[in-house]
Structure 1
Amino acid sequence: MTGPSVRAEVGRLAAELDVDPGELAFLHDVPPTAIRDLRADLAEALHTRHEAKFRRLARLSHLAPAPITAKVAEVAFSPLLGARVAAVMEPEQAIRLAARLSPGFLTDVSTRLDPVRAEPIIRGLPVRTVVDVGRRLLEREEYLPLGRFVSVVDTDVALEVVEVASAEQMLAVALWTEEVAALDAVMQRLPDARLADVLAVGLAADARESAYDDLAAVLAAAGDATRARLLDLAAGLDGADATPLTERLP
C-alpha cells in the first residue's frame, strides 16, 4: 500500500512537471523524501535553464511606467512566464507592478509561482492583496499552490484565508502544505471544533477513499504534538473509528 505521504509528494512533482499524477505511479514505492529531493532538483534545473531570458525580460520592466508595464504583462505574458519573470525581479519593482495588475491575473500567476523564490515579494505585498488572492485560489479549488503559500506567509494571513474555507477545503489545503512548522502553526491556532470538522470529513463512513488518504497524509506530516491533539479529537468523534488511521502512521 502506498504510504500516506507519498501521494502528496507525487502530486507536487506532477504539478511541477505539468503531468497527470497517474503518469508517475511508478514512484509509489519510492520514499517521500526522495521524491521531494527529485522535485527540488527538477525545479532548479527548469528555472536555471531559462534564467538569463527571464532576467532580460525583468530588466525591461524598468523601461516604461508601471501601469504600462503591467498592462503589457497581462496581454503578452502567460501565467507561467509571468511567474518565472516575477521570481527574478527586484522585489521592490515586482511589488510596484503587482499593485497595477488585476486580481484575476495575479491569481493566475500565483498558481505557477514558486513561493520560496518569490518570498520577499509575497511578504512585501499588502496583506489585503495576499488574502484576496488566497481566497480566489480557494474558490478555484487551487489547493496545491495554496498549500505552498502557507509555508511562506505569516500564520495570521493563512488563517484569514482559510477562515472562509469548508472542512473539505481545509483538509485539501493542509494536504498540500509542505512545511511541517507552517502546518503546525496554523493548526495550533485553530479551535478544536474547527479541527474536529476537518477530521470528520476524512473519517466519515461515506467519505471518499481519497479523503481518508488525505487525512492520513496530513497526520503523517504533522508534528508530534499536533498529531497527538488531532488523534485525541478523532477519538472523541461520534461514530468515527480512528484505529485504522493510527495503524498507517509512522
Structure 2
Amino acid sequence: MDKLRGKAETLKIAHLLDVEPGTLTFLQDLPVEDVRRFRTQTVAALFDRAPEMLDRIASATKLVPAGVAAAISQKALGPRLAAAVAGRLEPARAADIIEKLPVTFTAESCAHLDPRRIEGIVTRLDENLVVRIAVALAERGDHLTMGRFVGHLSDAALRRILPQVDDAAVLGTGYVIDAPERLGHIIDLLGEERLASIIASASAQGLWPEALAVAGMVTGAQRARIASLTAAQPQDHLDTLVRTVAEQDLWESLLPLVALLDPEERRTVAELPSLRGEDVLGGLVRAVVATALWAEFLPLVHALPADSRKTVADTAGTLPAPDLDALAREVDKQDLWDLVMPLVELMDDAAKTRIFALPAFQDHPEP
C-alpha cells in the first residue's frame, strides 16, 4: 500500500505548507519512508524556528488569567496565531486557555497547532470538550487534523465520538492517521455493525482508496474481516472498486485482501464484469510483475472464468524477457509451480517456448 501511504503523506505535507496537494505530487514517486521523514523535518522547520514575538506573547499570556488569555486569543490573535502561541506554552497552560475558548474557534486553530504538542495538550483537556472538538472537526471535514489527534484520544472519548461522526469522516481520518498502530484498536471500538456500514459507505461514496488504505494498516483477523465484508457488497459496487483500483493502479492494496477470501468469496470477485476486460487484466498482470504479488494473484486467477484465464495467460506470455525472468524467480522462490503450470498450458507454442527457455523452468516438467 506504498502508493496510498505516499499520497497520504503528501496530503499531510501540503496541509502543513498550506499549498495545493497537486503541487507536491512529485513526492508520491519517492520512497514513502523518505517522504515521512521529510514531513517530520518540515514540522521541525516550521515550528522550531518561531519568531521571537511568539515567545514574548506566550510569556505575556502566562501573566493573565486563562479566561483573559482566551479572550485575547480570540479577539486579537485569531486561530492561526493563537495555535502558534499555544505551541510555545506548557501543555497544562495551553489546555487551561483552550477550555475557555469557543469550540468552533478551537477546531479551526487545531489545524495550525504544532503536531508534536498535541498529545500533551489533548490528554489534559476535559473529555466533554475533546468530544465536542472532534465532532466540530468532522463537521468541518478536516480529516487531516483529526488524523493528527485521534491516536491520542482515550477509549472513553472515542466511544462517544464515533457514533457522532459519519462514515466518510471515519474513513478519511483513518486514511491519514498519524498513529496507524492505534487503528486496529479503534476498529475494535467501532464494532461489527458500524464496520459493515463504513465499508458500504466506501462503496456508495467513492471512498475505496481510503478504505483500502485503512485495510492495509490493520492485520490478522481484522484485515480478513474487512476483506470478507467488502466481498459481500453488491456486484455493481465491487465493480466500482475494481475500476477504481485499475484507474489508480492500486492492485498492491487490493490483491492482499483478495488472497484472504474464502473460495466462494474469491469466486464472487473473479466473476465481476470489470475483471473481464483485456485492459484491466493486462494492467493487473503488469502490476503483479512489478510488485511480485504472485502468491496473492494466482488463487484469483484460478477462480477466473476460462476466457479471463486465457487473457491472463496470453498477457503473461508476451511479457518482456526481464519480466518473465522476474516471474520465474518469484514463482520458484515461493514454490508456486502448481498454480502457474495451468496458466502455461493455456499459452500458445511461442510463449511456451519462451517460458521453458528460462533457467528457472529447466527443473520443472512441461505440461
TM-score computed with the length of structure 2 as normaliser: 0.62
- The residue that corresponds to 1:94 in the other structure is 94
User: How many residues in Structure 1 have an aligned counterpart in Structure 2?
Assistant: 246
Q: Matched residues in 2 for 1:159 and 1:35: separation?
A: 33
Query: The residue matched to 1:5 in structure 2 has which SS?
Result: helix
1:218 aligns with 2:209: no
- The residue that corresponds to 2:265 in the other structure is none
1:10 aligns with 2:10: yes
Query: The residue matched to 1:215 in structure 2 has which SS?
Result: helix
Q: Which has the higher Rg, Structure 1 or Structure 2?
A: 2
For residue 227 of structure 1, the aligned residue among 223, 228, 249 is: 223
1:125 counterpart letter in structure 2: L
For residue 248 of structure 1, the aligned residue among 215, 237, 252 is: 252
- The residue that corresponds to 2:39 in the other structure is 39
Instruction: Indicate if the aligned counterparts of 2:43 and 2:115 stay in contact, CA closer than 8 A.
Output: no
Instruction: Indicate if the aligned counterparts of 2:2 and 2:32 stay in contact, CA closer than 8 A.
Output: no
Alignment of 1:119-138 (within 5 A): 119-138=119-138
Name stretches of at least 5 consecutive residues in structure 2 with no aligned partner.
257-367
How far does the alpha carbon of each residue in 1:34-89 deviate from its partner, in whole angstroms, 9 at most, with x for none?
11110110110111111644332211112222222211111121322211211221
Higher alpha-carbon deviation: 126-135 or 113-122: 113-122
Q: Give 1:217 shift.
A: 1.8
Q: Matched residues in 1 for 2:156 and 2:221: separation?
A: 20
Name stretches of at least 5 consecutive residues in structure 1 with no aligned partner.
none
Q: Matched residues in 2 for 1:51 and 1:230: separation?
A: 47
Q: Matched residues in 1 for 2:51 and 2:43: separation?
A: 12
Instruction: Indicate if the aligned counterparts of 1:4 and 1:248 stay in contact, CA closer than 8 A.
Output: no
Q: Matched residues in 2 for 1:105 and 1:82: separation?
A: 10
Q: Matched residues in 2 for 1:16 and 1:89: separation?
A: 20
Task: Describe the shift of the 1:25–1:115 C-alpha distance in structure 2 as closer, same or farther (beyond 3 A).
Answer: closer
Query: The residue matched to 2:116 in structure 1 has which SS?
Result: coil
1:183 counterpart letter in structure 2: L
Q: Matched residues in 1 for 2:147 and 2:104: separation?
A: 19
Q: Matched residues in 1 for 2:152 and 2:51: separation?
A: 22
Q: Give 1:115 shift.
A: 4.1
Instruction: Considering Cα pairs closer than 8 Å and 6+ residues apart, tell me whether 1 or 2 has the greater RCO.
Output: 1
- The residue that corresponds to 2:318 in the other structure is none
- Of Structure 1 and Structure 2, the greater helix share is in 2
1:24 counterpart letter in structure 2: L
Q: Give 1:4 shift.
A: 2.2
1:107 aligns with 2:103: no
1:234 counterpart letter in structure 2: T
Q: Matched residues in 2 for 1:100 and 1:202: separation?
A: 37
Instruction: Indicate if the aligned counterparts of 2:162 and 2:190 stay in contact, CA closer than 8 A.
Output: no
Q: Matched residues in 1 for 2:103 and 2:51: separation?
A: 26
- The residue that corresponds to 1:199 in the other structure is 199
Q: Percent identity?
A: 28
Aligned Cα root-mean-square deviation (Å):
2.3
How far does the alpha carbon of each residue in 1:1-25 deviate from its partner, in whole angstroms, 9 at most, with x for none?
9822222111111101110100011
Q: Matched residues in 1 for 2:114 and 2:17: separation?
A: 13
Higher alpha-carbon deviation: 87-96 or 137-146: 87-96
Query: The residue matched to 1:88 in structure 2 has which SS?
Result: coil
